[in-house]
Amino acid sequence: MRLTKNKLKLLNPAIHSAVALLVLSSGNVAYAQDAAGAPPAASAGEGGVNKVVVTARRREETLQDVPVSVTAFSADQLSKVATPDITALATALPNTTLKASRATNSTLTAFIRGVGQADPLAGFESGVGIYIDDIYLARPQAAVADIYDVERIEVLRGPQGTLYGRNTIGGAVKYVTRKLAPQPDARLRATIGQYGQKEIVATASTPVSESARIGGTFARFKRDGFGKNLTTGGDNYDKDVTAARLSAEFTPSPDLFIRIAGDVTQDDSSPKNGHRLIVGRTSGAPILSNVFDTRANLMQALGKDQEVKAHGVSATVEYTINDEWSVKSITAKRKDKSYAPIDFDSLAVTDMHVPALYTNEQFSQEFNLTYTGERLQGVAGIYYIDANAFNKFDTILGGAVPTSTYTMGDIDTKAWAIYADGSYNVTDAFSVSLGGRYTVDEREAEVLRQIYLGGNGSPGMGNPGAILFRTDTDLRGGILKRKDKKFTPRVAVNYKMNADHNVYASYSEGFKGGGFEPRLNVVGTRIPLSVAQRGYEPETIETYELGLKSAFNGGRITTNAAVFYSDYQDVQIPGSVAIDTNGDGRDDSFAGVTTNAGKAKIKGAELEAIANLTPNFMVAGMYSYIDAEYKEYISAGVNVAGQRVFQNTPKNSANLRFNYDIPMPVMAHGGKLSLIGSASYKGATAQFETPSMLDQESYKLYDASIVWTRTDGKVRVGLHGKNLSDKRYKTGGYLFPTLGTEGTLTAFYGNPRQVSATLEYRF
């Protein structure tokens, strides 16, 4: 991609500066970067400049040496700028979208390099894998985790499968939690801020013997709403989350490490309701001036307030056989349950309501064997997952004859795989990596869809007296089954031109198995049984990448850049459409429709850089470009690729940040005062494959922090401002303007300006 002067002039001056810095540095990307721009804590390199260590290839390597597109954030970096949760990382990540799904606080929508999954319903796996200590989260519910008790977060871009447990076609986000300290350790972090924000994170651990340690963390995150519910008087966009983590670690011998861990999260926030972008079609209800206010009146599902519960347990065993060989076992089980009352119309009337229940359960087991020799290094493993995803919900539509449509989807997934990836140093400067994965995905589904008269719900959602009008879909009893198999290879070459410049090229394939649409409306869309039984097909991607990682001036300046090209086949695109089931010219229901768009081409470039201009002043930047285009998209027998766009994939993204440390005099208790700033740019973003009023035009965000850290690092005080320009920007929405009597076109927005103060203390 050529960056001409005219193109650069279109960008904000701050972003222009970031791009200019990166271009002048002539680098390539895949580096561990501080969200605030400060160098992360890692091993010291030449001249005292820290080198970032990551485990992207299941072994410790410096970021500049690993031939993979990866960005990493240390716990200290995240803490220093009061990063609230995983979605806040997206402003500093190339070609990455991380956000809370529409109408939720804790369900994650993730896209990397145009690949992702926006629908959280059962049966749709994410294209971006979320891992906690190498444990794959099969479902997006409760994946918008508040950041606590982590050592670092790594974000890998491109297909993953030859190194990690579950094949993920777009990329991976990896939480690495902190191991327990060998001596007693206690930490406290407290936050207060606007909108009644009150947060506390308390961590403690201690050895109980020479070979055993225990520890735990308790976290409480609470905040009032950004807006009000004008019907109930309650809050809208509030936060009420409690989380905890316990772990025990054992070292019976120097070669054996065992960790038993458990975590729990409960989200009791109020229902998040959207902002209507259109006037009520029948009532004439006006558009509210505050995008965070709502008139919604649906507060419960199955008689319960909105609630998300998630918990998991895991056991990790690592044994070092000798200096070259080690083995690892990762066993995990997780569950979550969500009661979700979703008021699509966001009005005081019952026009389009969807009370829903989601439950997910998974068990996974992974064994891997790692070899680290003088010239050969590699990993091989086997992986198994058994998961169930279940959802049921009513779609309650107002009108002359109100109806309640009950939909149930129950999806079982069993998958196993074998994988291997090895790197051989042909010479001290040149290495070759080969990897491969063989995956088998088995899915079995049950789908039930029934229409009941009246607007009081169905028996399945708590109304036993409802009168059944019609059954549109009944695919139970083992009718829906499919098995998908695929071998996906990876090959890479890496040439270290000298100690400071590392170039690599790679080819990798990704695969995501097929499945079944959990909202099938067989009658309404006249789908033949044979088509319903077939389900939707797997999607595949072939990605070519060329990268350069460079260091200058003794490592004080590092640049990472990558260009990539992907051939994306049979893209899985789930969605819902309004339909007319009785031919009277009025939409009276909806149907879930999952399309395998035939072909797409994705190409892009990513640049990241960090410059330690002085020992106390550092500037960092990121710029990414992506051109994602459908080449074949068949709808009703016609190729409509020219009218379709990639969702959640802005063409241009950029970020510029700085960190300036001012040494403080002894009379002021010493330490340093850090001035931190960040400016971010996101290009125009589509929410669906077709343009709509929900699309977000390009926007900019500005953050700043002032942080004092005591000399011994035990005390830190900070003042933080997020979205200082108070920008309103859409993150999702519902588009059903023809359903109900009022029409549904509601949008959800990113957080407004927030100012908070933090205090951290290590005992």
The mean pLDDT value for 70-87 works out to: 89
Close Cβ partners of 66 (under 8 Å, ≥ 6 residues apart) = 30, 54, 56, 57
Q: How many CB atoms lie within 10 A of CB 52?
A: 26
452-457, long-range: CB within 8 Å, 24+ apart, which pairs? 452/403, 452/404, 452/405, 452/406, 453/401, 453/402, 453/403, 453/404, 454/402, 454/403, 454/404, 455/350, 455/396, 455/397, 455/398, 455/402, 455/403, 455/404, 456/396, 456/404, 457/355, 457/394, 457/396, 457/404
Cα 277 from chain centroid?
A: 27
| Range of lowest pLDDT (408-412, 445-449, 529-533, 638-642) | 529-533
Pairwise pLDDT comparison (202 vs 637), residue with the higher score: 202
The per-residue pLDDT for 31 is 32
Residue extents of the structural domains in the chain: 5-762
Task: Find out whether 99 and 89 touch, Cβ atoms under 8 Å.
Answer: no
- Residue 447's closest CA among 123, 134, 136? 123
Q: Which fold has domain 5-762?
A: Maltoporin; Chain A (2.40.170)
The per-residue pLDDT for 50 is 57
DSSP secondary structure string, 190-227? EEEETTTEEEEEEEEEEEEETTEEEEEEEEEEEE--SE
Q: Looking at this protein, which amino acid is placed at residue 719?
A: L
Task: Find out whether 570 and 597 touch, Cβ atoms under 8 Å.
Answer: yes
| Torsion angle defined by CA atoms of residues 168, 169, 173 and 178, in that order, rounded to the nearest 10 degrees | 30
The per-residue pLDDT for 41 is 36
The answer on pLDDT for 524 being more than 90 is no
| Torsion angle defined by CA atoms of residues 634, 640, 641 and 644, in that order, rounded to the nearest 10 degrees | -110
pTM: 0.91
Task: Find out whether 212 and 252 touch, Cβ atoms under 8 Å.
Answer: no
The per-residue pLDDT for 668 is 63
In sequence order, the β-bridge partners of residue 549 are 502, 560
Three-state SS string across 448-506, please?
EEEEEECCCCCHHHCCCCCEEEEEEEEEEEEEEEEEEEEEEEEEEEEEEEECCEEEEEE
Residue 667: pLDDT band (50, 70, 90) is: low
Instruction: Give the C-alpha separation, 271 to 237, whole Å.
Output: 8
Q: Rg of the chain over CA atoms, in angstroms?
A: 26
The per-residue pLDDT for 314 is 97
Instruction: Give the C-alpha separation, 634 to 615, whole Å.
Output: 57
Q: Kindly provide the b/e burial profile for residues 514-537, where b requires at least 16 CB atoms within 10 angstroms of the residue's own CB.
A: bbbbbbbbbbbbebeeeebeebbb
| Range of lowest pLDDT (57-71, 226-240, 485-499, 644-658) | 57-71
Q: What is the DSSP letter of 523?
A: H
Angle at 452 between CA 446 and CA 457, to 5 degrees: 90
Q: Which two tokens stand for residue 707?
A: 């942080």
Instruction: Give the C-alpha separation, 484 to 715, whole Å.
Output: 54
The answer on pLDDT for 299 being more than 80 is yes
In sequence order, the β-bridge partners of residue 355 are 341
DSSP secondary structure string, 734-762? EEETTSTTT-EEEEEE----EEEEEEEEE
Close Cβ partners of 492 (under 8 Å, ≥ 6 residues apart) = 67, 432, 433, 504, 505, 506, 507, 508
The mean pLDDT value for 596-615 works out to: 95
- Residue 65's closest CA among 472, 490, 560? 560
Instruction: Give the C-alpha separation, 491 to 507, whole Å.
Output: 5
The per-residue pLDDT for 1 is 38
Q: Which two tokens stand for residue 579?
A: 């339909």
Phi-psi map region of 670: left, alpha, beta (phi>0 left; psi -120 to 50 alpha): left
Q: pLDDT tens digits, residue range 21-46? A: 333 333 333 333 333 333 333 333 43
The per-residue pLDDT for 75 is 86
Considering the chain, what percentage of its residues have pLDDT values greater than 90? Answer: 74
